[in-house]
Structure 1
Amino acid sequence: MAPAHLFNVSDLAAAHPLGTVSPVGVLLLALQAWLLLVLLVRLMPGYSRRPPIAPRTVPRRDTRVSVIVTTLNEVTRVGPCLEGLMQQQEPMLEVLVVDSRSTDGTRELVEAASRRDPRIRLVTDDPLPPGWVGKVWALENGLREAQGEWVLGIDADTVPAPGLVGAVIDAVEQDGYDVASFSPQFRDQTPAERFVQPAMLVTLVYRCGAAGATQPPPDRVLANGQCFIARRDLLVQYGGYAPARASWCDDVTLARHLAANGARVGFLDGSNIIQVRSYASLAEMWREWGRSFDLKDATPLWRRWLDVAMVWAVQALPLPLLLIVGSLMATGSVQLSGAPNAILWQALLVVNGSALFIRLFMLWALRGCYAERGWSFWCSWLSDIAAAWRLTLSTARRPKAWRGRQFSELAAS
């Protein structure tokens, strides 16, 4: 539930001797109207966004791509990823599985895949140095081994469709990108996850804009490390993965770093070329994805709190406020005509009704991001308060662990 200090029904309804509404109501309306306008500006380019990328059905031989997959005890998840990569045609040159000394059978599984497809090679990363997140260090080790003109990072919990590698090269060359990442389609989620995770996903769209839209300013670039491609020479020129070495959202940090140095960075809809099953339960998703989805380390603290205010104001609160106003109207406490404060109540209805309409439209627009939907997906807008609360917690706290590894030094920095 929303913290009580965010709004107070009695303050909204209280009238002064002159019949005017409390300044609390005026300030809330002004804040919501301003942030709703900001949201509309961010979402408008989405109307001309590029449609989902289609798999490429024929090979390309005019360039080469090195795929890097990082692993740490991924035996239960990496199999479908490797199967999907073995179905890739040219321009895929190699698959470098950079393992951080797994003990659960991951290495044996990768070695078995390598015997079936010699393009797959197991690489053991060097011991993790101080100040690095494990996944980013593994990517850096993979970059040192990569031979392709392009480097494509693929997460172990993804399922690449046949034709993925050729499709991402087609997409970046068509639009002239130096760097691009692709949003996935989520699969095999529990009903509980489908009730909460779409609301968390919407907060990202509200904060950064729609995938496939016009490239935003560098400090608003969004990225997805589950499918992230870049020119190898560009990565090397600007420090490899080191600029994101201590970041909890390394993909966004790296993309914004490269964009700030003049690279053309894209974020495109990859729901037709890659699927992901990241978490085993709602609790794991709430903990692991919630750890960094405030985009810490890539966004100034003041802006992250402004984003929190936006999510509360135009995503989480419109439905409760509409219910409150409706209940006050039903009891006769609010009049929409003939009262000095009627204009304010009408404005509150218009602003919050518009915000709720946009929210429901976003649910429809994001339906292709989910392989299964059902009632829990279509009702996920009812969990917007939970998503806003998780964003608030993520913004207020510094993580200490990720995928079983402790990072006390990073947590203290």
Structure 2
Amino acid sequence: MDFVAISVLVRWLLGWALCLRLYRLPEGKIKGNPTVSVLIPARDEEGTLPNLLPAINSQTFTPLEVIVIDDHSSDRTASIAADLGAKVMQPPSLPDGWCGKTWALHHGVKASKGEILVFLDADTEPAPEFLERLVAAQEQLGGLVSVQPFHRTEQAYEQLSVLFSLVGLMAVPMGPGCGVAFGPAMATSRADYDKVGGHEAVAGKVVEDWFMGHLYVEAGLPVSAYIGDGLIEYRMYPGGFNDMVMGFAKNFATAAGEVRAIWMLAVLLWISGLFWAAWCLPASLLGWPLMGQPSVLPNLLLYLAFAVQLITLTWRVGNFAWICLVFPIPVLCFLGVFVLAVFNLKRGTIEWKGRQFQTY
């Protein structure tokens, strides 16, 4: 076996290693009778709240209150939330130095009464036992506990997000005490939240979950993260391809610098193997420039090895099976969004939901 083949094999094996710690939110029972406030920031979410709020009403554990913070929506977000039984409030106008989500949650917490705070994005859809397991995990572990939902896709363009969903999990440690937080679903005690300064301490951060996790770690509090397959899911960016690209570029531009160097290096090595496999098969078929074995069969086997790996690794992350068979297409999308993210970093701003935010 030549050096190129060994190098690619090592990268392929690294992909398996990076996904060994995709821990599912553990089973657990709530102790005592804690009061729980569920806080949902919502800006133009009339299409998602009819999925989320009935799901909360069907939970095996009943929270003290469900508060939807209407972030100055231009649609029927507030009226739909009220019709579905949630308490609805609207914060004051967004001041300089704050992001919409952090401003909304800051005021939502001030209006809430629970001992435990649960933050849910409006596009999440929890299974009936989710809230009970999340609160039980927070009671057991303390600090901040978060869950990355299963990524449900419906339209073809949404399949192009496969690498963003997978790499986002590969690039960080997970499990109890991992030090990483995911924003779509988080739980903390009010006491710990106040101790770290709450959302006011991350007021201007677009990806506030990462920085909130840092605050807990700095305060000596545990931060734990899990995947939510079978327990909570979401459909990201149903508004179209452009929304998806801008959303992932936003996250890329603001969070990439927060990934630990050793994890980033490992992910980049795996991605380079994936890119190599995406190039080698068409190159061998069409006579394009190619290092290593130019015959079709070994490059076909290499292609299939990475396709099978992607299918296997993503089945707990999202429903991406068919796009994994033609993974050079999402590879090109990934590269395009990466270039856009670099541009946004240099420009220093990005637009999201009609607002301009800084990327640093």
TM-score range (shorter-chain normalised) is: 0.7 to 0.9
Matched residues in 1 for 2:267 and 2:81: separation?
41
Which residue of 168, 191, 197 maps to 2:161?
A: 197
| Structure 2 Cα separation of the partners of residues 78 and 164 of structure 1 | 17
Please give the per-residue CA displacement for 1:283-332, whole angstroms capped at 9, x wherever unaligned.
3212223321354386279899868854652332343246657888x99x
Retained in 1: the 8 A contact 2:344–2:350? no
Which one of 80, 83, 96 corresponds to residue 51 of structure 2? 80
User: For residue 393 of structure 1, what is the amino acid of its counterpart?
Assistant: L
Q: Deviations over 1:120-146 (max 9, x none)?
A: 311211221211111111011112122
2:333 corresponds to which letter in structure 1? Answer: A
Q: Work out whether residues 42 and 71 of structure 2, in 8 Å CA contact, stay in contact via their aligned partners in 1.
A: yes
TM-score using structure 2 length = 0.80
Q: Contact (CA 8 Å) 1:199, 1:380: kept in 2 or not?
A: no
The structural deviation recorded for 1:257 is: 2.6
Q: 1: distance between equivalents of 2:267 and 2:90?
A: 40
SS in 2 for 1:151: strand
Q: Among residues 265, 278, 282, which one is paired with 1:319 in the alignment?
A: 278
Q: Is 1:404 matched with 2:351?
A: no
The aligned amino acid for 1:164 is F
Does the aligned pair in 2 maintain the 1:304–1:395 contact within 8 Å? no
Asked whether 1:227 is paired with 2:185, we answer yes
8 Å CA contact 2:253–2:342 kept in 1: the answer is yes
Deviation at 1:98, TM superposition (A): 1.0
CA distance in 1, matches of 2:136, 2:329: 39
CA distance in 2, matches of 1:74, 1:255: 26
User: What is the distance in 2 between the residues matched to 1:81 and 1:403?
Assistant: 20
SS in 1 for 2:249: coil
8 A contact 1:164–1:274 mirrored in 2: yes
Q: Deviations over 1:41-81 (max 9, x none)?
A: 644x42xx534556x8x987521211100112222221211
The aligned residue for residue 258 of structure 1 is 216
- 1:136 is aligned to 102
Secondary structure of 1:317's counterpart equals helix
What is the number of residues matched between the two proteins?
Answer: 352
Measured in 2, the distance between the counterparts of 1:273 and 1:316 equals 32
Contact 1:192 1:376 in 2 (8 A): no
User: What SS is found at the alignment partner of 2:89?
Assistant: strand
Q: CA deviation at 1:31?
A: 9.1
For structure 2, the residue ranges without an aligned partner over 5 or more in a row are none
Matched, 1:248 2:206: yes
Tell me by how many angstroms 1:107 deviates: 1.5
- Structure 2: how far apart are the matches of 1:253 and 1:173? 22
Where does residue 4 of structure 1 map in the other structure? none
SS in 2 for 1:69: strand
Q: In the alignment, which residue of structure 2 is the partner of 1:267?
A: 225
Aligned counterparts of 1:205 and 1:356: Cα–Cα separation in 2: 23
Question: Could you say which structure has the larger radius of gyration?
Answer: 1
Show the 5 A alignment for 1:66-77: 66-77=37-48
User: Once the 2 structures are TM-superposed, how far is the Cα of residue 245 of structure 1 from its aligned partner?
Assistant: 1.5
SS at match of 1:208: coil
Paired residues of 1:311 and 1:388 also in contact (CA < 8 A): no
Whole-angstrom distance in 2 between the partners of 1:177 and 1:224? 16
Match of 2:23 in 1: 50
1:388 aligned partner, one-letter code: L
Alpha-carbon distance between aligned partners in 2 of 1:199 and 1:335, rounded to the nearest angstrom: 26
Query: Residues 382 and 278 of structure 1: is their aligned pair in 2 closer, same or farther, counting only changes over 3 Å?
Result: closer
